[in-house]
Structure 1
């Protein structure tokens, strides 16, 4: 059974219950995520013993705001549309990943998942096929290079074709505004704070995020069925918390209108039909390493 047939088999009241947005879960998860950032960031800012080691956990909890920004592109984590936009925009500013542009990038990924020519996640820059390429991938080099190139293209009024014509102007001015904000931050905030509380943690957190993202579609066949081209990874409650339940990724791709807090319920209804399931991120990484040249 493919994902379309599976969704069609769900009763209308079940689909309605799964897609119902509630304010409580999103606000509670957001408050907890911000608390983690403030706690680790304060430890670094106060220069407490071995503060420089704390930049790594700070970087991990910061970079995993990517999963929240991703959820905001679907307008599912919060009930208020304006609040989804505001949170997504704030995440984009922090992660150097403009939110409006990323929404169109990500929706194109959903439409063409696994297509080597039309999925913008892999078009022109496939997943690593050697151990050397994997090592470079884990640094985040490709992520930073690709995002900065897109940012400059957007600022120069040359957005990618997946940006709808009616949204091109907004994406162009978003890029220009973000560049102005980041330059202002670089010129006004003391370099020591910029490095220890923002830029270095973002760099240090990338390997964890890269490994996590690689499991979503790595080693999956390039087919149209979302239950086959996307992987669900069984993992700990802590990782599911940090990643806003996105380890249930096949479920998310099959039914992206389902909010993060309802994905475990959707998993119960889809798990018998999932074709790509990993027992954990360590297990997936071992499998990926065995597949490399």
Structure 2
């Protein structure tokens, strides 16, 4: 038997890895987290510069730069997600700050998302309790395309941020009474950042807010929707992480910018494993996973085909 696998894997439960193997994989690294985050910001900066300097002049450069820049913004969801688990860095204060900052760039709120996502892990694929399943799944191709467009997501995020900023958090059971003040304060600060950015754009009479945040994020949001839609759609609605979550073997650029989260089944089995250890975890448990697919286009095409 593989020494990193325990006999209890025959039961298909969460104890596929031995305690020793899991302890080794659970090692956080601030250095690796900072390197990945710096690289992410560098991609964002270079692509944003190429988008801005070539807009209206050289569309052969501007258009691909826009897509890369926009997705780099949308993919700030990845460090937001990693930091919400406090596994990106060894220091939790740094985790929480990067979580909030990445949320500002990706239009999520870090304090809200950390509680929301904790419930998702606790009740994953539970039709009544998983907050990710609160929106109805598409029943036909038209509904799927509407969801992939990102438009419902924009409306949901905008209305949620406003409700939370106004202190209306009673409808979110994952926000405990003790956490309400923090979440409300965090959301208000985030909306204030957007407000300042808009006022600066108006003051200098430059469309910076739209050109460097709103429009690029709008263009790239469908890519992130397709990525997220592949994580659990078509998987089992039970509490077995071997069957209720999908991992996707994707190209290196996507793997990199999403902080190894395409290894999503591995992450759901062991949320304590930091992003840089997920490839190693995959090698140790991949033979036990029910859903390991090749590429997000293929997964989404398979999903869409079943809706026709």
Q: TM-score, normalised by structure 2?
A: 0.90
- 2-structure distance, mates of 1:210, 1:263: 22
The answer to whether the Cα contact below 8 Å between 2:13 and 2:241 also exists between their aligned partners in 1 is no
Q: Tell me how far 1:70 sits from its aligned partner.
A: 0.6
Among 242, 264, 278, the residue aligned to 2:279: 264
1:7-46 matches, cutoff 5 A: 7-46=14-53
Does the alignment pair 1:139 with 2:146? no
For the Cα contact (< 8 Å) 2:247–2:262, is it kept in 1?
Answer: yes
Q: Which residue matches 1:274?
A: 289
Q: Which runs of 5+ in 2 are unaligned?
A: 1-7
For the structure 1 residues 39 and 93, does the alpha-carbon distance in structure 2 shift closer, same or farther, using more than 3 Å as the test? Answer: same
Q: CA deviation at 1:34?
A: 0.8
TM-score by length of structure 1 reads: 0.94
3-state DSSP of counterpart to 1:8 = coil
Q: 1:220 to 1:2 in 2, by over 3 A?
A: farther
Partner residue of 1:91 out of 93, 102, 111: 102
1:253 deviates by 0.4
- Give the C-alpha shift of residue 5 in structure 1: 5.7
Matches of 1:280 and 1:178, distance apart in 2: 34
Alignment deviations for residues 155-179 of structure 1 (CA, whole Å, 9 cap, x no partner): 1222111111110111112222222
Does the 8 A contact of 1:76 with 1:260 survive in 2?
yes
Q: Please state whether the residue corresponding to 1:223 is helix, strand or coil.
A: coil
C-alpha deviation, 1:184, in angstroms? 1.7
RMSD: 1.8
User: Are the aligned partners of 2:9 and 2:16 in contact in 1 as well (CA < 8 Å)?
Assistant: no
> Secondary structure of 2:221's match?
helix
1:74-107 CA distances to partner (integer Å, 9 max, x unpaired)? Answer: 0011121111111111111112211100111111
Equivalent residue of 1:46, what SS? helix
Q: Residues of 2 paired with 1:152 and 1:251: CA distance?
A: 34
**Aligned partners of 1:139, 1:2: CA distance in 2, in Å?**
39
Total equivalences in the alignment: 292
1:6 Cα offset (Å): 5.0
- Residue number in structure 2 paired with 1:161: 173
- Structure 1 spans left out of the alignment, 5+ residues: none
